Chain A
Amino acid sequence: MKAEQPRHIGARIQRFEDIRLLSGLARYIDDIRLPDMLHATFVRADIAHARIVGVDSSALGDLGYATWMFTGEDTAGLSMKAHQDYPEMQYSEQPLLAEGRVRFVGEPVAVVLAEDAYRAEDAAEHVLVEYDPLPVVGTMQQARDPALPPLFDGWTGNVIVQRQMKGGDLEAARAQAAHVVKRTYRTQRQAGVPMECRGVVAHYNPGDRVLTVWSSTQMPHLVRTYISEELNLPESRIRVVAPDVGGGFGVKGQVYGDEVLVAWLAMKTGRPVKWIEDRREHLIASIHARDHEHTLEAYVAADGRVLGLKADITVDNGAYSTYPFTSAGEPGMVGKVLPGPYDLKAYEATFRAVATNKCPIGTYRGVARPSAVFSQERLMDDIAVELGMDPIELRLKNVVRQFPYKNVLGFTYDEGSYAQSLEQMQTLLAKDIAAAEASRGSDTTRIGVGLACFIEQTAHGTPDFTRRRVPIETGYIAARVDMSPDGEATVDLGLQNHGQGLETTMAQVAADALGIRPENVYVRHGDTLTTPYSVGTWGSRGGPLGGGAVHVAATRLADKLRAIAAHLLQAKPDQIELADGVASVRGNPGNRIEIRKLARAALRNVDRLPDGMTPGLEAHASVDGPRDGTYSNAVHAAVVEIDVQTGKMKLLRFVVVEDCGTILNPLVVDGQVRGGVVQGIGSAMFEHFIYDAECQPLTTNFADYLMPLAPEIPDIEVHHIETPTPLTPLGAKGLGEGGAIGPAAAIANAVASALQVGVESTPLNANALWALSRHIRERAEA
């Protein structure tokens, strides 16, 4: 059935959830307080690799208050299993509490509970763990050294998995090439670091045998499934609630061992149990990301056409595989996306994950693509330098222009605006490019302009996960829409909202379909008791798939409203228009009835319904992603000024031209883009988890792990091109992650342009930029 004309989709509506968040009335995980609750504190490994000789908790008895203590012996057999179904993959399991051996600093060894959080922390200090240290595997090189002992019994070496993907004739490309450009690029270990740490509260009611788990998670249904499988409980008796969640960025898009453990503790102790992660724990033991090295070799024709690309990709995965995206997820994603927006005919990627004694790697906004795009777009600039071409012209020569386009690996790109966005950016940057060129002679201050052109596969459908044989398994999002007798609508959404504005945008979508106002739609989410099973909010799927599911469900409900209206107004259903709270007959607007009266007829005055119509106003829909997803595209550009003598860099300008298809709410879209960009600026300039040679983390607080602060950041300019996709119900493509994907590449390219030097790694902090400026200082001295 045809949708109504959009009235609210695309409108710049202020967010409904803001009132709760601004007033202090929001409820985050630490605001969950239950009677008789116990507080848990972990005893964590303070040595990166060791055998556990013993755990001495005898001092707990002298504390003078009640404590509970559990170790891996108590939870033996319970673990996090994240196995991708690749025959050659070396599997690891992370026990909920370490069993016999620790493999990174921060790994939970024991858990201590007390009736007060301060006392639980005191008590944990009284648990003494004796270790027998083992040699650490600290770097990618060490992990690939077969002489070093494996991290897990039964493993051969520390390469977890190594695979290949390829398409086209690489040998032919190499033979035709006028230039071969080979470079190695490196991005550093970092993480999403939401302002709210993680946390879990659990309560078991033996009366109805219901386990309730509150967790600061992006994926409550998957937490429920995992707990059910691991603790062998019926999933129907587990309720997982994600309350207000203070940022996720992928860090909370994983199932963690502590979520299972806190549930287990609540059942074991018979008391509600709460664990709130502290910031140090978050920085050392919640997942890290983006620890990549890529060696790329491009075969380029004399005119700048890139004929073929060979890639070798290594990701330092840390100690364990994380659920549900596994240790093969990051390197596999790089292999998949490196062809990018370019019309490449031959490609071969070898990718591997290696294990080290560091915090495990998982998802962070963009998932491998910030690193992949860093390499891809640094390579394009390095090719441009090698060929003496303008970097924008080089890209324009190579970008895909005909859609749909089947890429070298067989993925189909839907309609995009790759060339158009490059051309628009070229115009926007004209003055900056001139200023940069004028600064080339300076020995003191250089200006640089750099850009990153990229696509992002978003809203991946089930086939994409099936192909990867990854435990996430599926990609659909479901929604249920119902209307109560007063005409107010409720959307129960399988997504979880942690800043994306879903309580507003999903109301806009439902309102358009139902012909009511967004204010009359109550969007509920994050609670498995009330929401239909879905995989949660990650992978830039909220708008295209969540919005799609709401649209389809609400349209089904609207069809019933139209049928009732047609009966009562003596018209045909396809003559009925729903708008502004009223159903009217097209062409005869005086013939009308309020929608709330239709709702009352459907639910209370059911004698008014057409013969044979079932009472009730409720519809369910699930929307899966397209086979290859839908491809958003963007060009990011940075303008930087570098003090050649000190390495201090100032970001003068950051500009985005992006295309995410149909825009549901421009306020929200701009906010998502800008927030992502500033995270990307952190990746480019500041953020770095550093380990010493013994794998001790050196960046364990906010004085050492440096996230962008307001003074370092310019206004972020955002320009939109709207190319709706035919592959999702509303034409929307995903946009939640894109902002974070381009900045490292754009800023590195700006630095390369300013200093006229190759840039191979991030972060580009003052020390790094000073080192990259050396040739300019030496020239000045000479």
Chain B
Amino acid sequence: MTEITLTVNGIDKTVDAEPRRLLADMLRQEFGLSGVHIGCAHGACGCCTVHLDGTPRLSCLTFAVQCDGATITTVEAMGGALAEHPLQLAFRSEHGLQCGYCTPGFIMTLAPFVDDMVAQRRMPDDGEIREAMSGNICRCTGYHGIVAAVRKAIGAGLGKDA
């Protein structure tokens, strides 16, 4: 066992971690963050994406012990219990989710992309939007609503209705 301290969704916590414990399991079991979903456990579906020190990371390919001292954000901290992050609101209005299992991973992958585009003051084309989500598999929506949601969230950030 190795003692590690993680700052998760703004709260510091010290836990004992078996080295092999995946960050995904640690977040789910020790931090009660059930929004972290495991879809494949081999880095091929994106369901488990969280932010590690501010950037998207596959928590099924990361050992918790590697994250000692790191800051982690999960979907629970994005828009709260009412899911009020602009990208979450856009997912809802554009029907960017059905069963919801892949959804937290998409939100965590795409929120920085939306921020980046807004910072660059530009609306990406569909190809760029689809490439940005190319590491995430959604089996329900056919991606259509997710693409529309990203466009809408960027449009909102740019201050116009997309």
Contact = CB atoms under 8 A, between A and B. Distances in A.
Interface of A: 14-15, 17-28, 30-31, 33, 118, 192-197, 244-249, 278-279, 498-501, 667-668, 670-671, 674-679, 701-703, 707-711, 713, 715-716, 739
6 contacts: A23-B75, A24-B76, A30-B38, A667-B95, A707-B137, A715-B144
A249 B107 CA distance: 23
A509 B95 CA distance: 20
Contact of B95 (A196, A246, A668, A707): A668
B14 interface: no
Given A501-B98, A707-B139, A23 B81 contact: yes
Given A19-B82, A671-B145, A196 B97 contact: no
A703 B146 CA distance: 23
Interface residues of B, number: 59
A31 B34 contact: yes
Given A195-B139, A703-B42, 13 more contacts: A18-B91, A19-B81, A30-B38, A194-B99, A194-B139, A195-B45, A195-B102, A196-B37, A246-B101, A679-B142, A710-B130, A711-B131, A713-B142
A21 B139 contact: no
A14 B93 contact: yes
B126 interface: yes
A379 B73 CA distance: 54
B143 interface: yes
B104 interface: yes
Given A670-B95, A671-B141, A707-B137, A702 B34 contact: no
B137 A196 contact: no
A196 B92 contact: no
Given A23-B81, A118-B20, A15 B92 contact: yes
Contact of B137 (A17, A19, A195, A249): A195
Interface string B82-96: 110000100111010
Contact of A27 (B20, B34, B38, B131): B34
B83 A19 contact: yes
A503 B103 CA distance: 18
Contacts of A499: 98-100, 140
Interface in B120-153: 126-127, 129-131, 133-134, 136-147
B100 A244 contact: yes
Nearest to B43: A702
B101 A28 contact: yes
B64 interface: no
A711 B74 CA distance: 25
Interface in B66-83: 74-76, 79-83
A194 B130 CA distance: 21
Contacts, number: 180
Nearest to B74: A24
B41 interface: yes
B124 to A, nearest CB: 13
A702 B139 CA distance: 13
A196 B99 contact: yes
A447 to B, nearest CB: 19
Contacts of A31: 28, 34
A18 B92 contact: yes
Nearest to A681: B142
Query: Chain A contact residues: over half helix, strand or loop, or mixed?
Result: loop
B5 to A, nearest CB: 22
Contacts of A26: 34-35, 100
Given A15-B95, A23-B79, A710 B41 contact: no
Main secondary structure of the interface of B (DSSP, over half): loop
B32 to A, nearest CB: 9
B44 interface: yes
A706 B98 CA distance: 21
A708 B140 CA distance: 11
Contacts of A118: 18, 20-21
Contact of A18 (B21, B97, B130, B147): B97
A495 to B, nearest CB: 14
Nearest to A500: B98
Given A18-B92, A194-B101, A711-B131, A25 B41 contact: no
A601 B28 CA distance: 47
Contacts of B130: 710-711, 713
Contacts of B145: 671, 674
Residue of A19, A498, A671, A716 most packed against chain B (CB within 10 A): A671
Nearest to A276: B38
A344 B124 CA distance: 50
B142 A675 contact: yes
Sorted from nearest, which 4 A-B pairs have the closest CB atoms? A24-B35, A21-B100, A246-B101, A678-B142
B109 to A, nearest CB: 11
Quick one: which of A24, A31, A703 has the most chain B CB within 10 A? A24
A21 B96 CA distance: 11
Contacts of B102: 195, 246
Contacts of B97: 18, 21-22
Contacts of A22: 75, 79, 83, 88, 91-92, 97, 100, 103-104, 107
Contacts of A248: 99
A594 to B, nearest CB: 28
A189 B67 CA distance: 41
A25 B81 contact: yes
Contact of B39 (A195, A668, A670, A676): A195
Given A22-B91, A279-B39, A711 B127 contact: yes
Nearest to A680: B142
Contacts of A501: 98
A678 B40 CA distance: 20
A499 B92 CA distance: 13
Nearest to B94: A667
B95 A195 contact: no
Given A24-B104, A195-B99, A675 B39 contact: no
A24 B75 contact: yes
Contacts of A27: 34
A670 B146 CA distance: 13
B65 interface: no
A25 B35 contact: yes
Interface centre among B40, B127, B133, B136 (most CB of A within 10 A): B40
A713 B103 contact: no
B61 interface: no
A675 B82 contact: no
A670 B133 CA distance: 21
Contacts of B139: 192-195, 247, 249, 675, 679, 707
B18 A18 contact: no
Contacts of B100: 17-18, 20-22, 26, 244, 246, 499
B110 to A, nearest CB: 11
Contact of A24 (B34, B47, B95, B98): B34
Contacts of B36: 24
A23 B101 contact: no
A676 B98 CA distance: 12
B137 A702 contact: yes
A246 B37 contact: yes
A707 B138 CA distance: 9
Contacts of B126: 715
A14 B92 contact: yes
